[in-house]
Structure 1
Amino acid sequence: MITENTLPRSPPGPHAWLTVPAVSIGGVLIGILLTYLQVPSAILIGVAGCVIASFILGYIAYSKPKRDIVSLFAPLYAVIIFLIPNDFSNGPVMQTLYAVSISILALRVEKRFSKPMHQEKTMKQFLNEYIARIEPITKSIDEETGHRLASSLLTFKFGLYKNAIVRCDEALGRLRETGTMPGALEAALMIVRERSEDLAESRVTPAPHYTFAESDAEALAIRLRPEDMQDKAALDLDNALVLLYAVSIETSPEDEQALEEHQRFVIQILEAYKEQLAE
């Protein structure tokens, strides 16, 4: 058995589209000139130029990041018009119109379909990148503390607001006990605790007491420009929940399955800011 190592073919260069008008229009002009000189069957040179240029256009269109359906079918059009017997005239006028048309298509393909397709970052990818970014915080948290952070998040998510207050207090106590108290993490727990108190009492606090400081910005998942902040309190709560999730999923093996099952909750928070995060 013979095995061949095949290297990936490089796509046509940015000027490859020029071969389409060169072959098609060039072939038509040469055919007209030779016909004028009374060379037998010279008009077929124009036909050959149009057909060959159509296959070149089809290949160029296929190699682009985005596909132009019209250009992809150019070889089929050429076969129907010039090779299959039909009522179309294969004379110089048809050849000229066809050559000009596929030349315009070739330019269109190069200008509109050469840019790589923009692949939007999914919010799950964004979350994974965020978790990696806050590694300095997660590395300082032990499993017991991670479990208490996860309990604070999950009880809030389940609507058990009075229990969430207790779990936040336990997590804060554990952080103080271990001597690891990242400022952003403490703020996140206080924000969730304050919100739990409001929900438990069915009240609304217009201006929450606890918020993230400017120094916490690097630890936050959702960082918006000032003009995009319509509700600072809601933004702080969303950032607090995402931060608690990110730290918990990395530091509490005991709660990993439960957290993964409720990952959609965090993804939905991030999706609400998808447009701003993509900018």
Structure 2
Amino acid sequence: MKTNTTPPGSLSRLWMAVPAVSFGGIGIELLLSSAGFPYAVWAGIAGCVAASCVLFYQAYLKPRKDIVSLFVPLYAVLIFIVPNEISSGVIVQTCYAATITLLAVRLEKLFNAPKPEKKTMKQMLNDYIVRLDPLLTVIDEETGHLVAQALLTYKFGLYGSAARKSTEALARLDAIAPHPGVLERALLILRERAGGFAESRVTTNPEHTFTEADYNTLAIRLRPDQIEDPAALDLDNALVLLYAVGIETSPDDEQALEEHQRFVTQILESYKDKLTV
């Protein structure tokens, strides 16, 4: 959903006051000058300075700040108030008024929307956990505990234990409806990889992988041309998924998982230039 960042009511049209005040002051100056008023020039100067202050206020209200517009009152003082060799007559005033009018329009067009901020890996992880809510609601605490233990033992290099915990967690999934197929595949991927490491064997052609139907449930979603190592990507997605399930469904493991959150955010960090989440 888009957020309307334009101030409501009269503030959304504040930029119109810049040409109105500046050119209005110049118009009054011309009228006074035609009537022979000796200090008519100050009406135009006052209009330009006042319009500069309006532009400053307009820039100050914007979610993104324009340094040039914020310093416009200073420029007005230097040009029109501080003694210098620059003429402060109608021609200079008109050029100045036209310039700040363009700045006001530019400010309204380009600086009205907040500058987008890049999400941190922790924010991405939290967003992913929210996205997993339909899956998390069907996982009981005991299953969540086994999932968390499978992940933690794998992280600590206890691969044999990680494989056993994965098997225990898998045994409990059959009783869960609807069947959490993506979690089952994540546990199978972890068990296969942990089993290989336990035997000092690298699994180069894994039997278990995620399916195309799992795509929307994964944290790291890449285009086919971005995938360099499908097996590594599946393992990374499995680890992030198991972390999310464990921390949300196993209160007993929540603190331990929070202490090792960096392990998961580092996985996401390695894909930060490719993430399409």
Percent identity over the alignment is 58
Deviation at 1:213, TM superposition (A): 1.7
Q: Deviations over 1:174-208 (max 9, x none)?
A: 434x4565211111011111222333344443332
Matches within 5 A, 1:205-216: 205-216=203-214
- Note the residue ranges of structure 1 that are not aligned, 5 or more in a row: 1-8
Give the structure 2 partner of residue 28 of structure 1: 26
Provide the aligned length of Structure 1 versus Structure 2: 270
User: 2:149 matched to which residue of 1?
Assistant: 151
Matched, 1:64 2:59: no
| Whole-angstrom CA distance in 1 between matches of 2:226 and 2:27 | 60
Deviations 1:27-73 (A, max 9, x none): 22442454245333221111011011101100111111101112112
Residue of structure 2 aligned with 1:126, choices 124, 140, 144: 124
Which residue of 105, 108, 112 maps to 1:107? Answer: 105
Q: How far apart are 1:138 and its partner, in Å?
A: 2.3
Question: RMSD of the TM alignment (CA)?
Answer: 2.5
2:3 maps to which residue?
A: none
| 1:44 aligns with one of 30, 42, 45 | 42
Match of 1:192 among 185, 190, 193: 190
Tell me the SS of whatever aligns to 2:262.
helix
**Aligned equivalent of 1:228:** 226
From 150, 164, 167, the equivalent of 1:166 is 164
- TM-score computed with the length of structure 2 as normaliser: 0.85
State the match for 1:6 in structure 2.
Answer: none
Name the amino acid aligned to 1:69: I
Render the CA deviation track for 1:136-155: whole Å, top value 9, x for unaligned. Answer: 32232222221111111011
Deviation at 1:210, TM superposition (A): 0.5
Structure 2, unpaired ranges of 5+: 1-6
TM (norm. structure 1) is 0.85
Give the conservation status (yes or no) of the 8 Å contact 2:145–2:250. Answer: yes
- Which deviates further from its counterpart, 18-27 or 154-163? 18-27
Answer yes or no: is 1:82 the counterpart of 2:80.
yes
Is 1:270 the counterpart of 2:268 in the alignment?
yes
Q: Which residue pairs with 1:5 in the alignment? A: none
Cα distance in 2, alignment partners of residues 82 and 265 from structure 1: 61
Partner of 1:142: 140
After superposing the two structures, state which structure 1 stretch, 55-64 or 226-235, moved more: 226-235
Cα drift, residue 103 of structure 1: 2.0
Is the Cα–Cα contact under 8 Å of residues 187 and 212 in structure 1 kept in the other structure?
yes
Instruction: Give the conservation status (yes or no) of the 8 Å contact 1:138–1:251.
Output: yes
Report the residue type matching 2:76 in the other structure: A
